[in-house]
Structure 1
């Protein structure tokens, strides 16, 4: 474990073996066994999510956890519609830079999950919404002064995107914690946002308030396949030091 230093001591690097092994084998796992996941494990996943950072420490997140087979069966047709809409836009062949065989395996896994969604043991829906703005006229003027009029005008034109990213930044770190925790516990999971194509219908089916935003639909269960290793671009291809 890294120890605090006085400025003259050499920092000690933490033992990262287990953590990095977990991340290196955390594939999107879409083929799930139908056996239920114990409630205590699901609560541990939500605890991991809650430990994620929250903008302004507001902690405005909520998590809907579905385990009732009857509810899952009700959601299955919505899932099918969303998946079919997604697959209709992805094309018949792999995108540039992706192996055709790997692309075919991914599509097959998505179709398998679609066809067996009603058997999904657990589904987590992370939700979030900022409270009403507390910025008054004085605060707004100070903000414009800090940014400058040109940058402030540009921000105003992209406020919807800024707000969506701000809320997402309060949700997705927790979601990543949940996915890592699932992998650490031997559970399969994958993050999707396809439900947003029919978000109002999903919210109605789950009783989620109209003014609450949903940010993902995460199926969870015991894996049918094997974990990892993941295949990603080499660090040397994506790393830009100091400048692009």
Structure 2
């Protein structure tokens, strides 16, 4: 009997999935070209088909098409960027030299939020209420991988005060903004994650984050693939 599951994708399809994962980047540099409406629709479709705990589908997407509103959103990001820099202490100057968002330049800006009324959803959240946020993260990752496959860059901006963004965008009580997504055409994708290239941080080896049977116990787990 073959060990190959009958539901397996073709080799080419599998390679494409892993390629999208490997080449996905958190983009900061964009061209101003508009994103075709049909393409944006496909990315939103990908996001909306993410898994969610208890099938609660807690994501909401607010497309920012008003230029003045985008500028106000950028101003909120800038306030938090400066506050984050001060909080970093000795790395303040280093952080301020990083480009951390593309709100003004990207073809599309979409604010992703948690819906209100989430307390009604108990399935899968009784002891882990934060699974609503995990579900939204899955939606963003779906969109990210789809964007990379389509040749578009996506950058996740989390440098903002959620309360200020909620007021700006008229979020109902209980809803919460969790991401400003910058989406658009790029000149090129970074060959490596930008924060690695800027020597801000490095990816930990896989073996250092995989344990066996108990926290901190290493076994014969997987090594990083070649």
TM-score class, shorter-chain normalisation, is 0.7 to 0.9
Contact 2:152 2:184 in 1 (8 A): yes
Contact 2:152 2:185 in 1 (8 A): yes
Does residue 140 of structure 2 align to residue 175 of structure 1? yes
Larger Rg: 1
Shift of 1:25: 1.4
In structure 1, distance between residues paired with 2:121 and 2:210: 39
Contact 2:153 2:186 in 1 (8 A): yes
1:45-60 correspondence runs (5 A)? 45-60=43-58
Shift of 1:11: 1.9
1:73 paired residue number: 71
In structure 2, distance between residues paired with 1:17 and 1:84: 41
SS at match of 2:156: coil
Q: TM-score, normalised by structure 1?
A: 0.70
1:9-88 correspondence runs (5 A)? 9-12=2-5, 14=9, 15=11, 16-88=14-86
Contact 1:24 1:228 in 2 (8 A): no
Q: TM-score, normalised by structure 2?
A: 0.75
1:205 paired residue number: 168
Tell me, which stretches of 5 or more residues in structure 2 are unaligned? 197-202, 216-226
Tell me, which stretches of 5 or more residues in structure 1 are unaligned? 1-7, 95-102, 136-142, 144-154, 156-161
- Please say which of residues 44-53 and 220-229 is displaced more in the overlay: 220-229
Contact 1:64 1:126 in 2 (8 A): yes
1:238 paired residue number: 209
Shift of 1:105: 8.9
In structure 1, distance between residues paired with 2:86 and 2:95: 17
In structure 2, distance between residues paired with 1:134 and 1:225: 42
Ranked by relative contact order (alpha carbons within 8 Å, sequence separation 6 or more), the top structure is: 1
C-alpha deviations, 1:4-24, integer Å up to 9, x for none? xxxx44224543211111111
Aligned residue pairs, count: 198
Shift of 1:107: 4.4
